[in-house]
Amino acid sequence: MQIFLDTADVADIKKYVKWGIIDGVTTNPSLMAKEGKDPKEVIMEITKLVDGPISCEVVAEDAETMFEQAKIVSAWHDNIYAKIPLTAEGIRATKMCTEAGIKTNVTLCFSVNQALLAAKAGATLVSPFVGRVDDVGEEGLDLIADIVDAYNYYGFETKVLAASLRHPQHVRGCMQAGADIITIPPKILDKMVKHPLTDNGLAAFNKDWENCEACQNLYK
Ligand code: G3P
């Protein structure tokens, strides 16, 4: 399973890329607006930090303009995916991108039916939003499992990128559901790596080692 960072915060990306486990980055208009910087500069900076798919969202409502915007962002760098909302116009734009060889991440997906349309349009990635499905009292992780099952059954090549993940339990659920990719806010990585039994175990190992005189020369 690939792990993407869901952020446009370059400082955060720099920090977590050092872990050596980041496969890509997703952004959206809200994340971009939060940074308050020139979006192209932000995206280009990210391309220097991460050698993998980087999603940049189009902001038009009609397919023709979405396609024009997708051409613009995808020309900046080979790793840039045009992120396209899952509307009827977005599906049309996705199909245009597929035919033009532009990689796409079809976003704001909330149902298996929508995911089917994204796959039929040749989307490279589809982004179902787990947390926002939970927000309306349904099971976001079920949506991931259902899309993965349906795509596998029919052999669609579109990859399932689980988005809107809010906590480590979502990450575990996405693994169990077979998501191809998760995109997570960086703070979730801190929560994933931390375990009190690791901290306790390490403290005990270190204490025992310090008390062992015969052990002290091993790494000298
Ligand atoms: O990738 C989509 C994600 O940024 C949305 O997350 O927490 O705003 O639902 P959230």
pLDDT level of residue 185 (50, 70, 90 thresholds): very high
Sign of the C-alpha dihedral computed for residues 34, 82, 70 and 121 taken in this order: negative
Distance CA 140, CA 180 (A): 16
Strand partners, 5: 25, 184
Contact between 216 and 38 under an 8 Å Cβ cutoff? The reply is no
Please give the share of the chain, as a percent, with pLDDT higher than 70: 100
Given the CA of residue 28, which atom of ligand 1 is nearest to it? 4
pLDDT of res. 194: 97
Q: What is the mean pLDDT of the chain?
A: 98
Do 4 and 161 form a contact (C-beta atoms < 8 A)? yes
Ligand 1 atom 6, closest CA: 164
CA distance 178 to 1: 8
Residues 198-202 have a mean pLDDT of: 98
Beta bridge partners of 183: 4
pLDDT class of 106 with cuts at 50, 70, 90 = very high
Spatial CA neighbour of 138 closest among 150, 130, 146, 127: 130
Q: What is the mean pLDDT of residues 83-107?
A: 98
Smallest Cα–Cα separation from 103: which of 43, 157, 140? Answer: 157
Pick the closest to residue 3 from 56, 52, 74 (CA basis): 52
What CA–CA distance (Å, rounded) separates 14 from 5?
A: 11
Listed in sequence order, the DSSP H helices in the chain are 10-17, 29-35, 39-49, 63-76, 88-100, 112-120, 130-135, 140-154, 168-177, 186-193, 196-210
Query: What pLDDT is recorded for position 136?
Result: 98
pLDDT band of residue 91 (cuts 50, 70, 90) is very high
55 lines ligand 1 (CB under 6 A): no
The answer to pTM > 0.85 is: yes
Q: Which of 143, 67, 141, 150 is nearest to 109 (CA)?
A: 143
Q: Which atom of ligand 1 is nearest to the CA of 31?
A: 4
CA atoms within 13 A on the CB side of 61: 0
Tokens (6 digits) for 17: 């890329």
Average pLDDT on 96-117 reads: 98
Residue type, 160: V
| 7 CB within 6 A, ligand 1 | no
Tens-digit pLDDT profile for residues 22-72: 999 999 999 999 999 999 999 999 999 999 999 999 999 999 999 999 999
Residue 163 near ligand 1, beta carbon < 6 Å: yes
Q: Which residues contact 77 (CB under 8 A, 6 or more apart)?
A: 43, 44, 47, 54
